[in-house]
Structure 1
């Protein structure tokens, strides 16, 4: 196995873990709405999730750990996608926000700042900020 194969499989494990996190948020209320389904389908395509992986993750997302990327910008992008999923059904549920905070900690956002980061993420997505504006604002909120 070559180094590129190892990197590729490691990267794919991160993508699977991230997709599972998105699924966990979608399933928080035990219903996947049409908006959530569309977002899941788009995320699966972007993350190169196969049909069989998709089905397995949908059945048991808790089996897949969050594998945080090393890149800070990639971690912010994952937070962005998670936040988008919270709004996909048009209803922000406190259980979704609680799960989002736990995932944000797993994405290596500082525990003492995670609530502030997640609140800002929700505010930014609610106001239709794009990924670039989201990234800039989260970096400002999370400045250490």
Structure 2
């Protein structure tokens, strides 16, 4: 097995863990809405999740750990996608925010700043900020 094979399988494990995190947020209220389903379908394609993996993850997302990327920008992008999932059904449940904070911790955001970072993430998505603006704002909040 070459180094590139190891890297790609490690990268795919991160993508599976990330997709499972998105599914956890979608399933928190027991129902996957049409908007959530659309976001799950788009995310699965972007993350190269096979149909078999999709089915397994949808059935038991808790079986797949969060594998945080090393890159700070990639971690912020994951937070962005997770926060978008919270708003996919146009409702924000307290449980979804709790899961978002736990996943943010797993993405290596500081426990000291995780509440502030997640609150800002929610505010940014609520105001339709794109990924670039989201990244800048999260970096600013996470510094303080």
- State the TM-score, normalized to the length of structure 1: 0.99
3-state SS of 1:89 partner:
coil
Residue 44 of structure 1 is matched in structure 2 by: 44
Structure 2 distance, partners of 1:44, 1:100, is: 19
Q: How does 1:30-69 map to 2 (within 5 A)?
A: 30-69=30-69
Q: In the TM superposition, what is the alpha-carbon distance from 1:122 to its structure 2 partner?
A: 0.1
Residue 121 of structure 1 is matched in structure 2 by: 121
Structure 1 distance, partners of 2:135, 2:42, is: 20
Q: In the TM superposition, what is the alpha-carbon distance from 1:2 to its structure 2 partner?
A: 0.4
Residue 75 of structure 1 is matched in structure 2 by: 75
Residue 18 of structure 2 is matched in structure 1 by: 18
Unaligned runs of 5+ in 2: none
Structure 1 distance, partners of 2:113, 2:75, is: 15
Structure 1 distance, partners of 2:48, 2:117, is: 28
Q: Deviations 1:22-47 (Å, cap 9, x if unpaired)?
A: 00000000000000000000000000
Q: In the TM superposition, what is the alpha-carbon distance from 1:129 to its structure 2 partner?
A: 0.1
Q: In the TM superposition, what is the alpha-carbon distance from 1:82 to its structure 2 partner?
A: 0.2
Q: RMSD of aligned C-alpha atoms? A: 0.5
Structure 1 distance, partners of 2:117, 2:85, is: 16
Residue 130 of structure 1 is matched in structure 2 by: 130
Structure 2 distance, partners of 1:26, 1:112, is: 26
Structure 1 distance, partners of 2:128, 2:118, is: 15
Aligned residues: 144
